[in-house]
Structure 1
Amino acid sequence: MNDTLQQYMLLVKENSDLINGPDYPGKETDIQKQKEQIEYYAKQLQQGFSTDDDYDEFADAVIKCAYGDISMEELETVYHELTAP
């Protein structure tokens, strides 16, 4: 699996868990740090897509994966189908 894709997906899942988890001092700071990391990986991944629509479709698949609607393997398949030349 693409390391960038794997890191991105793990961060998205962690961020979802953090946002939906219990409040604690510094939670907002932690959420902001994760968002910055997610944006970094998103920019790297976005370069592989030929259109914004393809990236949007991928982003939808990431959300589905984060909520357990599709597996990491299915997400990887979507990624490769949308970035294939």
Structure 2
Amino acid sequence: MDGIVKQYMMLVKENSDMINGPDYPGKQRDIQKQKETIKSYAQKLQQGFSTDDDYDEFADAVIKCAYGDITMEELETVYHELTSR
């Protein structure tokens, strides 16, 4: 499952970079496609959490990791703590 966590975090970061990056033809289509991929990963990951609040806490940690506020190792720790409740 750790691979999925890392891929999910990378997709969130790439999506943020794309949204905030320069405009180009097809950008909105690319953003939409990436959002659909992120949603697919989120649905897989959500199954491992006992509550929606636990998933929301994890999602916040993913955003922090994408922006460099926490490390990937810290994100994985958050994930394991929240999914082992």
The gaps in structure 2 that reach 5 residues or longer are none
Give me the TM-score of the superposition, normalised by structure 2.
0.96
Match of 2:34 in 1: 34
> Following superposition of structure 1 onto structure 2, how do residues 47-58 of structure 1 map, counting pairs within 5 Å?
47-58=47-58
> Following superposition of structure 1 onto structure 2, how do residues 1-80 of structure 1 map, counting pairs within 5 Å?
2-80=2-80
* Percentage of pairs with the same residue: 80
Give me the TM-score of the superposition, normalised by structure 1.
0.96
The gaps in structure 1 that reach 5 residues or longer are none
- Alpha-carbon shift at residue 7 of structure 1 (Å): 1.1
CA displacement 1:18-62 (0-9 Å, x = unmatched): 001000000000000000000000000000000011001001101
RMSD of Structure 2 on Structure 1 (CA): 1.0
- Alpha-carbon shift at residue 4 of structure 1 (Å): 1.0
Aligned equivalents of 2:67 and 2:7: distance in 1?
A: 16
Aligned equivalents of 1:4 and 1:62: distance in 2?
A: 12
